[in-house]
Chains A and B, each alone.
Chain A
Amino acid sequence: MFQSVFEGFESFLFVPNTTSRSGVHIHDSIDSKRTMTVVIVALLPALLFGMYNVGYQHYLAIGELARTSFWSIFLFGFLATLPKIVVSYVVGLGIEFTAAQLRHHEIQEGFLVSGMLIPMIVPVDTPLWMIAVATAFAVIFAKEVFGGTGMNIFNIALVTRAFLFFAYPSKMSGDEVFVRTGDTFGLGAGQLVEGFSGATPLGQAATHSGGGALQLTDILGNPLSLHDMFLGFIPGSIGETSTLAILIGAVILLATGIASWRVMLSVFAGGIVMSLICNWCANPDIYPAAQLSPIEQICLGGFAFAAVFMATDPVTGARTNTGKYIFGFLVGVLAILIRVFNSGYPEGAMLAVLLMNAFAPLIDYFVVEANIRHRLKRAKNLTK
């Protein structure tokens, strides 16, 4: 009865010893489990730093940072994050197992990555039931109805995030959700220090009014240095704050060849170009986020995370090499465009990737069409 599930676990623990029946007699060692494992390994630096930063922001908010040990800070973040990971995996894999059983095929590994991405792109105070509902929605309606891993049009993790964002906006943005001010399982209880504000740097930029220079601050109101933004000691979604940790992940993905350097490079290129255009052309009194330098734009919010882990999803991105440059560049441009010109959405990276997911097949269509036209022309020249 539970044959798929049984086989799923068996092939999970053992490399199947089935040998090739037709075609090539030898196969490359790589399979989709390996691919997904590499992505998860690449996510670990950002995840571990994210856990530490959750604790860091919390103890900063209650003014006890100096008195708390590194491990206590990490433990706080770990305990705050772990339930989200568990909920995301249990809900998502539960649906995957059921779908595999219904369709009588092997369990597909795609959700191993999505399930890790989901807790990393939500604010720390997102209620668990919301994560459960959003994950279920995304896995069923953005993936299984399309046929499972490899068939989906939109990135599953981002659909989850978008669902949360539009269904429960008050819990997904604003000043209240990005820093945990309460305790976690009784750990780290304390009074907030005076002058605390949980607004993320991009939130501050979006709500900056009255013109004048934009000064980003940390949650206690001290000015933020570029150094802090790069290392990630800023409030934000759990795994997205540290550009450094994300870049370590990027190195792993690029060295192993799992992610496309074409996409990654062009997202950053697009972001930088659009930031410069905003610096030069946009009126900073109306669009305060236009004042941010390209480096700040990349270090803040989910831009780097989207560039490295979201845009590079091979299933939902462009699949031709030429298409990848265009796809990546437009993701970068759109992310900054939304960020700067629509203060309703302080973070544009998520929407930019989702939007370009929809356009990726169109980009590929034109790239492939060029090859087709070139073939037809060749045939026509011949008959002349």
Chain B
Amino acid sequence: MGVRFYQEPKKNCNFATNFIFYINMNHVVKIKKGLDIQLQGAPALQISNSKESQLYAIIPDDFTGMTPKVEVKAGDKVQAGSPIMHDKSLTRVVVTSPVSGEIVAVERGERRKVMKITIKPDAEQQAIDFGKASVDSMTSDELKELLLKSGMFAFIKQRPYDIIANPDTTPRDIFVTAFDSAPLAPSYAFVLKEELPYLETGLKALAKLTPGKVYVGVSKKEPIAVKNGETVVFDGPHPAGNVGVQINHIAPINKGEIVWTINALDLLFIGRLLEKGHVDYSRLVAVTGSEVSNPHYVRTCAGASIASITDGLVKQAAYDRRYISGNVLTGVNAGADGFLGARQSQVTVIPEGNDCNEFMGWASLNPNKYSMSHSYFSWLRGKKRRYAIDARVRGGERAIIMSDEYDRVFPMDIYPEYLIKAILAFDIDKMENLGIYEVAPEDFALCEFVDTSKLELQQIVRNGLDRLMKEMN
């Protein structure tokens, strides 16, 4: 277990001094297990404006746990902040439109599942006025009501199950992760530089929603000093930025407890709503990956098309590329004609690799083949070298053979392999005992990357959580 860290930021004290105090006091949670995958295409600290997106989309799958009831139909006019859909059981949880415009289509897939709702933006943008709000003078119910009807609440997730939060519950604590340690992830210090006041307003609002504490996980490398909430400094490789890892080191979830989690970049939306009186879904998105010619930050809006974001940035090539909304570990394969996910602040473009037929590749001595294990020779080339890795699985699926593989990239007080086996067997008692309530699929992403047996661990965990939720409720 790491060092727990409770330090109320001192009032009237500048944040830099505060931060130096934290470091000197060794109040840093040191994460040792994990892996920073050495990918090519990290974003340079520059910002450009994206091309105007011709279409915006709301994708219900971005709001895990929501059974969408669509409130609009093709041809309807909406404003930024108009409700588009709500959850079937938690009817107060709505998702609102990022832009004003006209609904183009409600696209459905198999069994009439809603895949996405597309919106053609107006030239002149209009937003619903929710009224500027002063968090201090609002009751917690008033605040919750505002967040619910403006669609902001849908960005808050809960653990257990890693799903949209239930507004009828009261969380023990709220955890905000204010850095992303995933491969090529945007620098939150850079993205938040101009917007810290919004973040602080957001944190102040969260404090109203829990009787417990609001923890803010920041990284030692790029610390962010914020006024509200309890800052906890984390140091170490990915997945140090995963909120699940942070919870596990700060105050682990016990059976029966509920905590809420939110990403700092999503919390900005809440801060902006409260300060401005209307929704502002604009995002600074890191366009990254080995197929991007000039990886940097692009100013755009949640739900914008990938094409508008990556316009002119992707290298010319004859082979197939994979356009990922998010990072390479947990993102969604959106396709070149897809859309930026509601919770994503990153687009990654990598080679698909479906044209490669490597002869006897498993016997290769090529030091360009990246591996965490030392059985390939990329480790001889040091930690500085960056690799272009394509989307191939590089092996067949097998039973779990190697031991200690998952553990090395899983910095939680949990035995990942035993938990996975309990999920596969769907042994509820065992899952509970082994810590199912503390994990989310994203926590297993690195395990999935390094897995010799090539098992789809995130999918296994997601299915396990869904099934467990059905059993328990």
Given A22-B456, A31-B454, residue A37 in contact with residue B371 (CB < 8 A): no
- Within the assembled complex, what's the spacing in Å between the Cα atoms of A382 and B363? 53
Q: Are B354 and A17 in contact (CB under 8 A)?
A: yes
Q: Are A147 and B399 in contact (CB under 8 A)?
A: yes
Provide the B374-390 mask, 1 if CB < 8 A to any CB of A, else 0. Answer: 11101000000000011
Nearest-neighbor residue (CB-CB) of B333 within chain A: A25
Interface presence of B398 (CB below 8 A): yes
Q: What is the interface size of chain B, counting residues whose CB is below 8 A from a CB of the partner?
A: 75
- Within the assembled complex, what's the spacing in Å between the Cα atoms of A18 and B390? 11
Interface presence of B372 (CB below 8 A): yes
Q: Are A148 and B435 in contact (CB under 8 A)?
A: no
Report A-chain residues with C-beta under 8 Å of the C-beta of B467.
none
Q: Are B392 and A19 in contact (CB under 8 A)?
A: yes
Which of B362, B378, B448, B458 has the most chain A CB within a 10 Å cutoff? B362
Report B-chain residues with C-beta under 8 Å of the C-beta of A27.
392-395, 448-449, 451, 454
Q: Are B376 and A29 in contact (CB under 8 A)?
A: yes
Report A-chain residues with C-beta under 8 Å of the C-beta of B252.
375, 378
Report A-chain residues with C-beta under 8 Å of the C-beta of B353.
17, 19
**Which of A127-135, A252-260, A274-282 forms part of the interface with chain B?**
A252-260
- Within the assembled complex, what's the spacing in Å between the Cα atoms of A65 and B71? 92
- Within the assembled complex, what's the spacing in Å between the Cα atoms of A78 and B395? 33
Interface presence of A66 (CB below 8 A): no
- Within the assembled complex, what's the spacing in Å between the Cα atoms of A151 and B435? 24
Nearest-neighbor residue (CB-CB) of A10 within chain B: B357
Provide the B422-465 mask, 1 if CB < 8 A to any CB of A, else 0. Answer: 00000000000111000001000100111111101111000000
Interface presence of A38 (CB below 8 A): yes
B409 to chain A, nearest CB (A): 10
Report A-chain residues with C-beta under 8 Å of the C-beta of B448.
23-24, 27
Nearest-neighbor residue (CB-CB) of B389 within chain A: A26
B356 to chain A, nearest CB (A): 5
Report A-chain residues with C-beta under 8 Å of the C-beta of B318.
none
Q: Are B328 and A24 in contact (CB under 8 A)?
A: yes
Report A-chain residues with C-beta under 8 Å of the C-beta of B457.
23
Q: Are A31 and B399 in contact (CB under 8 A)?
A: no
Nearest-neighbor residue (CB-CB) of A379 within chain B: B254
- Within the assembled complex, what's the spacing in Å between the Cα atoms of A151 and B255? 32
**Which of A202-210, A213-221, A315-323 forms part of the interface with chain B?**
A315-323
Report B-chain residues with C-beta under 8 Å of the C-beta of A321.
404, 407
Report A-chain residues with C-beta under 8 Å of the C-beta of B356.
15, 17
Q: Are B374 and A256 in contact (CB under 8 A)?
A: yes
Report B-chain residues with C-beta under 8 Å of the C-beta of A21.
456
Within 8 A of B (CB), among A243-263: 255-258, 260
Nearest-neighbor residue (CB-CB) of A256 within chain B: B375
Q: Are A368 and B415 in contact (CB under 8 A)?
A: yes
Interface presence of A376 (CB below 8 A): yes
- Within the assembled complex, what's the spacing in Å between the Cα atoms of A20 and B378? 22
Report B-chain residues with C-beta under 8 Å of the C-beta of A14.
357-361
Which of A16, A321, A378 has the most chain B CB within a 10 Å cutoff? A16
- Within the assembled complex, what's the spacing in Å between the Cα atoms of A23 and B331? 8
Q: Are B398 and A30 in contact (CB under 8 A)?
A: no
- Within the assembled complex, what's the spacing in Å between the Cα atoms of A258 and B333? 32
Q: Which of B328, B399, B451 contacts A151 (CB 8 A)?
A: B399
Q: Are A11 and B396 in contact (CB under 8 A)?
A: yes
Interface presence of B373 (CB below 8 A): yes
- Within the assembled complex, what's the spacing in Å between the Cα atoms of A149 and B399? 7
Q: Are B373 and A257 in contact (CB under 8 A)?
A: yes
Report B-chain residues with C-beta under 8 Å of the C-beta of A28.
370-373, 394, 449-452
Nearest-neighbor residue (CB-CB) of B368 within chain A: A29
Which of B324, B330, B371, B394 has the most chain A CB within a 10 Å cutoff? B394
Report B-chain residues with C-beta under 8 Å of the C-beta of A149.
398-399, 401
Given A314-B403, A315-B401, A371-B413, residue A15 in contact with residue B395 (CB < 8 A): yes
Interface presence of A372 (CB below 8 A): yes
Which of A11, A258, A318, A372 has the most chain B CB within a 10 Å cutoff? A372
Q: Are B376 and A314 in contact (CB under 8 A)?
A: no
Q: Are B376 and A30 in contact (CB under 8 A)?
A: yes
Q: Which of A37, A314, A371 contacts B415 (CB 8 A)?
A: A371
A364 to chain B, nearest CB (A): 8
Interface presence of A35 (CB below 8 A): yes
Nearest-neighbor residue (CB-CB) of A380 within chain B: B254
Report B-chain residues with C-beta under 8 Å of the C-beta of A222.
none
Interface presence of A69 (CB below 8 A): no
B241 to chain A, nearest CB (A): 16
Interface presence of A33 (CB below 8 A): yes
Q: Are A19 and B391 in contact (CB under 8 A)?
A: yes
- Within the assembled complex, what's the spacing in Å between the Cα atoms of A24 and B392? 10
Report A-chain residues with C-beta under 8 Å of the C-beta of B359.
13-14
Q: Are A15 and B392 in contact (CB under 8 A)?
A: yes
Report A-chain residues with C-beta under 8 Å of the C-beta of B348.
25
A84 to chain B, nearest CB (A): 24
A12 to chain B, nearest CB (A): 8
- Within the assembled complex, what's the spacing in Å between the Cα atoms of A380 and B358? 55
Report A-chain residues with C-beta under 8 Å of the C-beta of B454.
27, 31
Given A14-B361, A379-B254, residue A150 in contact with residue B453 (CB < 8 A): yes
- Within the assembled complex, what's the spacing in Å between the Cα atoms of A368 and B416? 11
Given A11-B396, A13-B360, residue A256 in contact with residue B390 (CB < 8 A): no
Interface presence of A175 (CB below 8 A): no
Report A-chain residues with C-beta under 8 Å of the C-beta of B399.
108, 147-151
Report A-chain residues with C-beta under 8 Å of the C-beta of B452.
28, 30-32, 34-35
Q: Are B361 and A15 in contact (CB under 8 A)?
A: yes
Interface presence of B127 (CB below 8 A): no
Which of A22, A24, A258, A379 has the most chain B CB within a 10 Å cutoff? A24
Q: Are B376 and A110 in contact (CB under 8 A)?
A: no
A148 to chain B, nearest CB (A): 7
Interface presence of A64 (CB below 8 A): no
Report A-chain residues with C-beta under 8 Å of the C-beta of B396.
11, 16, 31-32, 106
Q: Are A33 and B395 in contact (CB under 8 A)?
A: yes
Q: Are A34 and B401 in contact (CB under 8 A)?
A: no
Interface presence of B355 (CB below 8 A): yes
Within 8 A of A (CB), among B214-236: none
Not counting A19-B353, A32-B453, a sample of 5 additional A-B residue pairs whose C-beta atoms are within 8 angstroms of each other reads: A24-B329, A24-B458, A25-B329, A37-B362, A378-B252
A-B CB proximity, top 7 nearest: A31-B395, A150-B399, A15-B361, A379-B254, A33-B362, A319-B403, A23-B458
Seen from chain A, the residues whose Cβ lies within 8 Å of a Cβ on chain B are 11, 13-35, 37-38, 106, 108, 110, 147-151, 255-258, 260, 314-315, 317-321, 324, 368, 371-372, 374-376, 378-379, 382
Query: Mind listing 24 A-B residue pairs with CB under 8 Å?
Result: A14-B358, A15-B356, A15-B394, A17-B356, A20-B393, A22-B458, A23-B445, A23-B457, A24-B328, A25-B324, A26-B449, A27-B393, A27-B449, A28-B370, A28-B394, A28-B449, A32-B453, A33-B395, A34-B376, A37-B363, A110-B401, A150-B398, A150-B399, A321-B407
